[in-house]
Amino acid sequence: MLAGLTSGNNGTQAAAPAAGDNGVSSVLPQSQRPRPQYTPNRIDDPNYVRIFDTTLRDGEQSPGATLTSSEKLEIAKQLAKLKVDIIEAGFPVASPDDFDAVRRIAMDVGNTRDASGYVPVICGLSRTKLRDVEVAWDAVRLAERPRVHTFLATSPIHMEYKLRMTEDQVVENAVAAVKHLRKLGCQDIEFSPEDASRSEPQFLCRVLSEVIKAGATTVNIPDTTGWALPHEFGALIAELRKNTEGAENVIFSAHCQNDLGLATANALAAGEAGARQLECTINGIGERAGNTSLEEVVMAIALRGEGLMNGLWTGVQPIHIAPTSRMVQDYTGMAIQPHKAIVGANAFAHESGIHQDGMLKSRQTYEIMVPETIGLTRADEAGIVLGKHSGRHALKTRLTQLNYTLTEEQVSDVFRRFKDVADKKKTISDEDLLALMTDEVHQAEVIYELIDLQVMCGSLGMPTASVKMRGPDGVIRTASGMGTGPVDASYKAIDTLVNIPVELMDYSMQSVTEGIEALAITRISLRPTGKLASEAFTTNAQGRQSQRTFSGSGADEDIVVASARAYVSGLNKLVAVMKAPKISAAERELQRLQASKPLTERASNAVAV
């Protein structure tokens, strides 16, 4: 049995033998396996599997998972630390804000090489409409490795009821989009026949053959509705690879939805059948029941790929899985269920007596990987216990051990809150630190800032709250409000100062640790009403419009204060998105001029654009 994994500088993994009294080693040998050189339509190592992350595109289509441009950029940087091969940064034509986010990621993350020479491919999604592909190419073209992913449905039900197209028209549109991208200068093109698992295999082969002839370098097979069973989906991949003309000249990919809870199983079956790109999201977020979970696929391949999957491996660094998972949870407001594989709160918890007895004798009895493998460090070897006498260096060291890399300004923000909490708690747990990270670092741009909150409530009168806030003009103002409870009263007072009509859609609170001194994390989602409601719509990849909701989170020892901080966080995100600057024609032209320069000159001038 494999005891654990580690990552080298090149982002690959190796199995580690058991060591130590408990049978599991947390200090693991480094892997020297080099990542294959990137070529769009070829992988020199036949066992290497590219990981295509679509958290910022398909993941953001989850209801309530609205992200700002700045949050998307931060997540993209974290995905680069994770060393995924391709980052699908968004759907550029959906809105000016989406275009801006993809462009910023392409210019920043897409031009940042690490010491090993790794730089991710930056991808933008588009329909086969020519305007879509042009906007997508404009958004990603400044990246060192730009890709456009275009798609069109091929199942009988989609062609008849949604597209109202014949098979010939579908082929014509798909080929036209790929050829137009080639004409624009895009050399890395992915095509997806939407709803492939419910399409006729013979027609799929025809469509794929034609787009390969037109210049596609990756063909992705989506199980759009999560309909397929693993043996069925693996067989489909094998059949398409065998019967599609030109299949040897492209990379086959798989994109699986989780409607039947089979997304990970289907993705692994596709990998065994020859797919060499697997499309995933962090925490498995996405439309409806979500997507293939990146952490599940990566760890399954890392643990079982060598022995039972014909030597499959990836270039992902698993030690960054836990911090990335936490960041996506905080920014999207989508909490992870405790029993979620790999990253759930209970994933490495053992409560039953039999399990605890086994774990005390050998961790291999009930753990197939050590939590340190994915960046979860629950014990401090130096014996450091954080409390009110701890200094900035001790805090920074512990956060580094938890695999967080922070700027000095971010450390200062967390340290300030840490000292406030430490004055009220004897010791600060790792869970407390993670909650403070949520509240101080993983937040939207601060436009409105909550300074003070005072609440009066009880059984003898109407709950009343007074708040003091700093607005975008830097002026501090105070206001009061009454409500049905202390939280409602606080929100009414905040509404008086912010003056943005919103509707609270969801409210949840959880205790970080046990006991009366525990921190509380509150999560909310809201949506604008009145005139703003007509502007707060987004277009998804299928062309459907839906009203945006905005999430917020806050942490504090006081539940009411945590609730107020979450509400202000959600309002800040709403304001940032709704007031995002539009992309002007002049800026678009500047992008085109910049893109025509050599890559070295383009990267050095990226900040100026």
DSSP 295-363: HHHHHHHHHHHHHHSTT-B----GGGHHHHHHHHHHHH--PPPTT-TTTSTTTT---SHHHHHHHHH-G
174: helix, coil or strand? helix
Q: φ and ψ at 412, to 5 degrees?
A: -65, -40
Count of alpha carbons within 13 Å of 454, Cβ hemisphere only? Answer: 5
Extract the runs of DSSP E, i.e. beta strands, from 487-574.
502-511, 520-528, 537-539, 545-547, 550-556
Predicted confidence (pLDDT) per residue in 25-48, tens digit:
343 333 458 899 999 999 999 999
Q: Is 56 exposed, middle or buried (0-12, 13-18, 19+ CB in 10 A)?
A: buried
Work out the pLDDT band at 217, boundaries 50, 70, 90. very high
Mean pLDDT of 454-466: 89
Q: Where are the domains of the chain?
A: 43-317, 377-440, 449-578
Is 449-578 assigned to CATH 3.30.160.270? Answer: yes
Q: Is the pLDDT of residue 598 over 60?
A: no
**Which of 7-16, 450-459, 487-496 has the weakest average pLDDT?**
7-16
Work out the pLDDT band at 335, boundaries 50, 70, 90. confident
Mean pLDDT of 502-511: 88
Q: φ and ψ at 403, to 5 degrees?
A: 70, 35
Q: Is the pLDDT of residue 183 over 90?
A: yes
- 231-240, 318-327, 352-361, 518-527: which is most confident: 231-240
The residues, any chain, with a CB within 8 Å of residue 249's CB and separated by 6 or more, are 41, 212
Q: Is the pLDDT of residue 426 over 60?
A: yes
At residue 409's C-alpha, the angle toward residues 404 and 414, to 5°, is 60
Give the span between the Cα atoms of 290 and 309, in whole angstroms: 25
pLDDT of the residue at 1: 30
292: helix, coil or strand? coil
Give the span between the Cα atoms of 269 and 595, in whole angstroms: 39
Question: Under a CB-based contact definition with an 8 Å cutoff, are residues 564 and 490 in contact?
Answer: yes
Q: How many residues does the chain have?
A: 609
Mean pLDDT of 212-225: 98
Query: Tokens for 277?
Result: 């790109």
Work out the pLDDT band at 387, boundaries 50, 70, 90. confident
Considering only CA atoms, which of 291, 242, 251, 243 is closest in space to residue 271?
A: 251
Average confidence score pLDDT of the chain: 84
Residues in a beta bridge with 184: none
pLDDT of the residue at 419: 79
Question: Under a CB-based contact definition with an 8 Å cutoff, are residues 297 and 34 in contact?
Answer: no
- Round to the nearest angstrom and report the end-to-end CA distance of the chain: 52
Q: To the nearest 5 percent, what fractions of the chain are helix, strand and coil? A: 45, 20, 40
128: helix, coil or strand? coil
Mean pLDDT of 271-294: 97
Higher pLDDT, 337 or 172: 172
**Which of 132-136, 229-233, 347-351 has the weakest average pLDDT?**
347-351
Residue 205 to residues 194, 236, 243, 404, 521, Cα–Cα distance (Å):
13, 11, 6, 46, 50
Q: Is the pLDDT of residue 10 over 60?
A: no
Cα dihedral across residues 51, 330, 332, 91: positive or negative: negative
Query: Tokens for 383?
Result: 């014996």
Give the span between the Cα atoms of 136 and 215, in whole angstroms: 17
Q: Is 326 exposed, middle or buried (0-12, 13-18, 19+ CB in 10 A)?
A: buried
pLDDT of the residue at 352: 52
Higher pLDDT, 537 or 158: 158
pLDDT of the residue at 400: 81
Helix 130-140 × helix 167-184 angle, to 10°: 30
**Which of 232-241, 314-323, 402-411, 466-475 has the weakest average pLDDT?**
402-411
Q: Is the pLDDT of residue 3 over 80?
A: no
Considering only CA atoms, which of 263, 328, 440, 325 is closest in space to residue 62?
A: 328
Q: Which residue is associated with the tokens 């409607």? A: 259
Query: Tokens for 8?
Result: 């080298």
- Give the pairing of strands 520-528 and 550-556: antiparallel
Predicted confidence (pLDDT) per residue in 83-141, tens digit:
999 999 999 999 888 999 999 999 999 999 999 999 999 999 999 999 999 999 999 99
Q: What percent of the chain has pLDDT over 70?
A: 82
Q: Is the pLDDT of residue 549 over 90?
A: no
pLDDT of the residue at 163: 96
Work out the pLDDT band at 314, boundaries 50, 70, 90. very high
Mean pLDDT of 265-290: 97
Examine domains 43-317 and 449-578 and report if their fold is the same: no
Helix (H) and strand (E) counts for the chain?
Answer: 18, 18
Give the span between the Cα atoms of 43 and 117, in whole angstroms: 17
Mean pLDDT of 315-344: 91
Considering only CA atoms, which of 475, 478, 446, 449 is closest in space to residue 465?
A: 478
Is 43-317 assigned to CATH 3.40.50.2300? Answer: no
Mean pLDDT of 309-329: 94
Q: Is the pLDDT of residue 586 over 90?
A: no
**Which of 28-37, 236-245, 572-581 has the weakest average pLDDT?**
28-37
- 501: DSSP letter: -
Q: Is the pLDDT of residue 147 over 80?
A: yes
Considering only CA atoms, which of 349, 370, 300, 398 is closest in space to residue 20?
A: 370
Considering only CA atoms, which of 400, 436, 422 is closest in space to residue 555?
A: 436
Question: Under a CB-based contact definition with an 8 Å cutoff, are residues 465 and 481 in contact?
Answer: yes
Higher pLDDT, 4 or 31: 31
At residue 373's C-alpha, the angle toward residues 371 and 374, to 5°, is 80
Considering only CA atoms, which of 219, 384, 252, 405 is closest in space to residue 317?
A: 405
Predicted confidence (pLDDT) per residue in 15-28, tens digit:
333 333 333 434 33
Sheet holding 464-470, edge to edge: 449-456, 464-470, 476-482
Higher pLDDT, 324 or 402: 324
